[in-house]
Amino acid sequence: MTIKDSLGPAQPKFSELLAQPEVKARWEKVRKYFFLRESTYDMSNRCNIRCDGCYYFEGEKQFAREIDDVDAWRRLMRAEKARGITYVVLAGAEPSLVPQLLKVCYEEMPLGSIATNGFKKIPESVGYKIHISVWGNDETSLRIRKAKNLLKEQIKNYKNDPRAVFVYTFTRENIDEVNEVAEQLVPHGCKLTFNVFSSPVGYAGPLRHDDESLQRTKQRMIALLNQYPQQTLFSVYNAVAHTHQKGLHDLYKCSYPRQNPSQDIGLGRSFRQYRADLNWDRAVACCVPDTDCGDCRHYAAGSAVVTARLYGHVNNLASFKSWLDYVDTYLAVWVMGYEKGENLCNEPIKPPRVAGD
């Protein structure tokens, strides 16, 4: 999520892009958060459900020994702060199983978010954003997550909770179920955003998207954004960026260490992905390790990769507005107390070819 770029040569001038008061106001609003520097942490090697296509249970990290020592975590958080980290993403396998560690992290590092399946409520004293993963209706959750009445449990735990954002992951199979899910979430004051299933390395199962399912996903995202603008944290450009035939790396050039050898600036220098044993490995470090980079359309990846590409979005006003909408969305999803504004651009623009092709 680090926002880092230089403006470089661009047409029109940057001052001209800021001529409209609402554009200037949005730029001033989002730039206050350019200080965010993230790293991610696997809190546990256990989960209370088991989902098809879960990237945590791929690769080496799932075998890391769990460290349940709160003092060790406190020391880690202090060391992270000392090296400039200002934002933590607490994830894999299931963070709600270790509330004592979440508490310590929050005491040391007050900005962050937790990725959870929502089955077990995280204590309200932990004031991070909480991302609750939804993979379809309850029938589908039972089939692919082996979890009964999952959405009902998630809503019971997190309705009207200002920390909570329900993250609907579109797979190839659940596109039509999203309306039913939204109809259940909206009356309970639940905020909704979207993710796109990104295959773990080697996964070729039925959840993997194809061109047709990506197109339908995009249409459904935009329709829901129009239907529930107050409760859907998203923009047209989010939909475009995450459902393109090409993945995020091809479109924007991923800046996480796993795809970025440079250690000079930005994520390539600062980002670490700690496993449950508190070790990390630069060669595999990104926010969704063991995901197939060619199929990566993950919302967490986009929050860093797209936001970092300011320079690719300053060639015209529609592109710049779309980038502002994307950053505004990402901050509303990831930062406590940040309120999403009205989207500035409702026309789909083409992503810039910053990765070159």
* Residues at the contact surface with ligand SF4, assessed by CB under 6 A: 248-249, 254, 256, 258-259, 286-288, 291, 293, 296, 301
Sequential DSSP letters for 305-338? HTTT-GGGG-SSHHHHHHHHHHHHHHHHHHSTTP
Work out how close the CB of 305 gets to ligand SF4 at its nearest, in angstroms, rounded to a whole number.
Answer: 7
Of 273 and 343, nearer to ligand SF4 (C-beta) is 273
Work out how close the CB of 200 gets to ligand SF4 at its nearest, in angstroms, rounded to a whole number.
Answer: 9
Which tokens in the block code for residue 28?
A: 């001033």
CB atoms within 10 A of CB 109: 21
DSSP at 275: -
Of 45 and 260, nearer to ligand SF4 (C-beta) is 260
Q: Residue 139 burial (CB < 10 Å; 0-12/13-18/19+)?
A: exposed
Question: Residues 6 or more apart from 244 whose CB is under 8 A from it?
Answer: 214, 251, 297, 351
Between CA 10 and CA 329 the distance in angstroms is 24
Of 136 and 200, nearer to ligand SF4 (C-beta) is 200
Residue 114 CA to chain centroid, in angstroms? 11
Report the SS3 class of residue 150: helix
Phi-psi region of 198 (alpha: psi -120 to 50; beta: other; left: phi over 0): beta
Q: Residue 256 burial (CB < 10 Å; 0-12/13-18/19+)?
A: buried
- With contact defined as beta carbons under 8 Å apart, do 65 and 45 qualify? yes
Between CA 104 and CA 41 the distance in angstroms is 13
Work out how close the CB of 352 gets to ligand SF4 at its nearest, in angstroms, rounded to a whole number.
Answer: 17
Of 233 and 286, nearer to ligand SF4 (C-beta) is 286
Of 58 and 138, nearer to ligand SF4 (C-beta) is 58
Work out how close the CB of 201 gets to ligand SF4 at its nearest, in angstroms, rounded to a whole number.
Answer: 9
Work out how close the CB of 167 gets to ligand SF4 at its nearest, in angstroms, rounded to a whole number.
Answer: 16
Work out how close the CB of 197 gets to ligand SF4 at its nearest, in angstroms, rounded to a whole number.
Answer: 13
Work out how close the CB of 222 gets to ligand SF4 at its nearest, in angstroms, rounded to a whole number.
Answer: 23
Which tokens in the block code for residue 106?
A: 């929050």
Between CA 138 and CA 163 the distance in angstroms is 23
Of 85 and 254, nearer to ligand SF4 (C-beta) is 254
Tokens 């006003």 correspond to 317
Work out how close the CB of 124 gets to ligand SF4 at its nearest, in angstroms, rounded to a whole number.
Answer: 31
Work out how close the CB of 289 gets to ligand SF4 at its nearest, in angstroms, rounded to a whole number.
Answer: 7
Read off φ and ψ for residue 282, nearest 5 degrees: -55, -35
Work out how close the CB of 208 gets to ligand SF4 at its nearest, in angstroms, rounded to a whole number.
Answer: 14
Of 132 and 355, nearer to ligand SF4 (C-beta) is 355
Of 240 and 286, nearer to ligand SF4 (C-beta) is 286
Q: Residue 357 burial (CB < 10 Å; 0-12/13-18/19+)?
A: exposed
Helix (H) or strand (E) holding 30: helix 21-31
DSSP at 120: S
Of 118 and 200, nearer to ligand SF4 (C-beta) is 200
Beta bridge partners of 133: 167
Of 95 and 257, nearer to ligand SF4 (C-beta) is 257
